[in-house]
Structure 1
């Protein structure tokens, strides 16, 4: 066979997994249904933070592994798209976070008067903020430089991939709902608004994991990303004008200058949430091959990508 492993799915989870496998000396091919700019990962904000991710115990360890990787990549932010940026998580208290928080340097509980906008509690942090279009292109380039191949190809059955490699890794996100099939997968719709940055340098979030609406803005060099929504079961990919207006209004309550910022565009992505959380599991394929499932990362795919990639790579080699 031409390759040792075929990774199906070309988002951040697929790219991270393929990279870890290539680093271990395997010949790896990625098959991606979508070009990089059209993947769900390309729509992500994307701030490192364990958000809407289960199982909690494993997710904390996966997130910390990824945090270390982003720390290494932030050395060259222009190439990797990774920068460490200061900001505030509103409506959050240190005591309400998981054990992982003790390993994150610099988290600080704010006094009520330090929290911006109509909020009274919050945590200050300096965290990785990732420009996803830049980052995905960087990861693909690094993977290909290691001898990996990236091909845009839709897979309708894992047998197609198994015919060309003894191990297949399923990083298909929400598409695994039909491919596996896994009825536990469900979409969580996220809508964003892109505006010209009016000079904002710090990020802000107020994200209740049980709410359908969130408030956040993330500053990138050429734009400010405003959000957002977390609409369970909603599969609409067309931006909703009323939702966009509400996002801008919520963000402007924190930073009034956002209200007058010129709108550059709108994005919608479907987070791949799963009952029971992330699935990383090896199963046999007909004919003797092995299929490693690696999906269900919800709203934290960027946050846990590298920790989960190492766990999936262990199953490939195990």
Structure 2
């Protein structure tokens, strides 16, 4: 692959793989370089579409809506791991629904009888749920089918990814060192995956800025229970105390989960900054670097919209 036509995507999480797929399917020679394939944080996601505590709002709305369109189309194919699911987001306070939820199919306020004890408001809607191990494998297969290649190694800097005409930085939390970006910080998340005792609907509590989340997302034979959001923590080791808290919170809402068999713990570190960074810069050696990172807990939700913007930014620069 000649350096003058080569594009390297750094990172194999959902942002990196989605971007690489679009580049490869547009006819661009693409190589993905990552130390984890697929990325551990993306593997640990729940994952329900929904803009989650992320800025800037105007761009997030655009990226999120474009991604929603694509996820709805992908849900027609069971091999993608994407499925449209009805469920409830509830609050213990009298909260207004998030603006993005009001536009979703089947949106309506819940009756009091639909809410668990202790909750004062809630809303039902239908939204894409994504089974991340299945979905990331789907993206990897789609990338390879389009001619993209993957190299598993750890980079010391973005310069190590070259030579290339374009480097697309989707390294997530790795951007703290690779850019470097001191404004990027981890928010540790943990999920517990259990056998499904018969759940078909999702449930999510609007917990605001609390580090203790409450949600469960059914994916066929399994349910992903959540979760945590511990600001500043990046350890990927399982926390037994946090797992016990997740199980207790979810079982209180859905007693059938009490007898579910624990299959695994999934832990990731959400790459968080004041605003998602999707922008391009030209290096002194002529290499174009396009950044696509800092999605926090909305990496899946924004993935397709951000990837399309990366392609637009690359086209906007003359080579």
If the TM-score is normalised by the length of the shorter chain, which range does it land in?
Answer: over 0.9
1:101 Cα offset (Å):
4.1
Q: Which residue of 1 aligns with 2:135?
A: 135
The CA distance in 1 between the partners of 2:83 and 2:285, in whole Å, is 45
Q: Which residue of 1 aligns with 2:10?
A: 8
Q: Which residue of 2 aligns with 1:34?
A: 36
Q: Which residue of 1 aligns with 2:126?
A: 126
The answer as to whether partners of 1:51 and 1:209 remain within 8 angstroms in 2 is no
* Matched position secondary structure for 2:303: helix
The answer as to whether partners of 2:157 and 2:177 remain within 8 angstroms in 1 is no
* Matched position secondary structure for 1:250: helix
1:96 Cα offset (Å):
4.2
The answer as to whether partners of 1:93 and 1:109 remain within 8 angstroms in 2 is no
Q: Which residue of 2 aligns with 1:203?
A: 202
TM-score by length of 2: 0.94
Q: Which residue of 2 aligns with 1:307?
A: 305
The CA distance in 2 between the partners of 1:180 and 1:40, in whole Å, is 19
Q: Which residue of 2 aligns with 1:74?
A: 75
The answer as to whether partners of 1:207 and 1:216 remain within 8 angstroms in 2 is no
Greater shift in the superposed pair: 89-98 or 5-14:
89-98
- Are positions 1:227 and 2:226 aligned together? yes
The CA distance in 2 between the partners of 1:153 and 1:237, in whole Å, is 19
Q: Which residue of 1 aligns with 2:145?
A: 145
RMSD: 1.6
1:241-289 CA-to-partner distances (Å, cap 9, x unmatched) read 11111111100111112122221221211001112x1001111223111
* Matched position secondary structure for 1:199: coil
Q: Which residue of 2 aligns with 1:267?
A: 266
The CA distance in 2 between the partners of 1:35 and 1:101, in whole Å, is 32
Q: Which residue of 2 aligns with 1:45?
A: 46
The CA distance in 2 between the partners of 1:253 and 1:102, in whole Å, is 27
The answer as to whether partners of 1:113 and 1:120 remain within 8 angstroms in 2 is no
The answer as to whether partners of 1:93 and 1:123 remain within 8 angstroms in 2 is no
The CA distance in 1 between the partners of 2:167 and 2:120, in whole Å, is 49
1:190-233 CA-to-partner distances (Å, cap 9, x unmatched) read 11111111111111111323111110011112311111011100
The CA distance in 1 between the partners of 2:96 and 2:257, in whole Å, is 31
* Matched position secondary structure for 2:296: coil
Q: Which residue of 1 aligns with 2:286?
A: 288
TM-score by length of 1: 0.94
Greater shift in the superposed pair: 179-188 or 151-160:
151-160
The CA distance in 1 between the partners of 2:64 and 2:160, in whole Å, is 32
How many residues get paired? 313
The CA distance in 1 between the partners of 2:196 and 2:28, in whole Å, is 43
The CA distance in 2 between the partners of 1:118 and 1:176, in whole Å, is 41
* Matched position secondary structure for 1:278: strand
The CA distance in 1 between the partners of 2:245 and 2:110, in whole Å, is 27
The CA distance in 2 between the partners of 1:146 and 1:45, in whole Å, is 27
1:102 Cα offset (Å):
5.0
